[in-house]
Amino acid sequence: MRLSRLLAASVVAGFAGLLLGPSADAAGGVQAAYWWVGQPDTAGVPAPPQVPAGGLYVSSTSAGPSAVSAIRFTLSTREQAPVLVLRVHQLQQFDGLSIDAYPATGRWQGGDAQSWSTRPAFDAKKLPVKGVLNAAATTVTFALGAVAPGSTIDLVLVPGPVTTTSAPVAPPNPTFDASFEPVRSADIRTTAVPPHPSGHQPTPSPTPQPTGATAGSSPPDRGVLVPALPGSTAQPAPTDTVPTPVVAQQPVVPQPAASTSVRSGRSNRDMFILAFLLADAMAFVAWRARAGHAGTGPGAGRISIYDLPPSPTAEPGPS
């Protein structure tokens, strides 16, 4: 009985796999670090108690950012459109939580409570991906958008400007303190790359390095950070060349020219004049016939415009 149940469960799982399609591999090589203003260059200061070991920390005061974090992970060749979900460990917000993700432009090492002066640089000219806090304030989600399979994502998480606040005037810097649990591979959700029609996956193209970075200042194979639009799923462009179908040339068959009408506005006018003259002639004939029958009547001596003038009668000369 137990063996039959296991076989049934295996069959159900197999059918579910066929229905759901191929699943994406979990992102690997996750590295994390954070820096805060309380740690001097000489180090030695204990880590903030509200931050778990191996976690992330982002904080801001009215004077500006006081803690930033960085995270790095690599997608497999079967993954795309990563979504990073941070699990909240502790959160205090006074005028709203605002965390932006930017591409890192400097090298950094993983570790907790590193000195503030060694925090990594980031490309502030890029459009950031804003973290979205859920209604229960338990997670902050970053939809990283179109990233090529096999790319390495290298992000710096920094406090961003306040977008929603109940105050009449938004403060220049948000005031909040947020720490997050260590990031696991399961916290990085990806979409499986669909099978290629040719039967093999296209080779991902090399990822361009951020502009303005000096040699040796940026880790290789960094993915391009593109914010995702709501409700959209970005698809990578296939790199395999698709042959252009050859279309046979068909012989050109001359088509008969369309017949054009020879009538014009002048022909219509001529027909109208001809009809008018014909009606006038018929009226004249009818009048003459009526005048012939009434030659002795009161109007016998009348003439019309159609009668020829009477010839002059020769008067007798003197006898």
Q: Which residues pair with 140 in a beta bridge?
A: 86, 133
Contact 202, 240 (CB under 8 A): yes
Residue 230 has a pLDDT of 40
- Alpha-carbon distance 303 to 23, whole Å? 111
- Alpha-carbon distance 192 to 171, whole Å? 42
**pLDDT 10s digits, 256-298:** 554 444 444 456 777 778 787 888 788 777 767 776 655 555 5
- Alpha-carbon distance 2 to 239, whole Å? 49
- Looking at per-residue pLDDT, the higher value among 279 and 113 belongs to 113
**pLDDT 10s digits, 222-246:** 444 544 444 434 444 444 444 445 4
Contact 144, 228 (CB under 8 A): yes
Task: Give the torsion sign (CA, 186, 188, 191, 192).
Answer: negative
Contact 100, 129 (CB under 8 A): yes
User: Six-digit token pair at 302?
Assistant: 């009348």
Q: Show me where the domains of the chain are located.
A: 21-192
- Alpha-carbon distance 73 to 311, whole Å? 125
Q: What is the pTM of this model?
A: 0.56
User: Six-digit token pair at 210?
Assistant: 């951020």
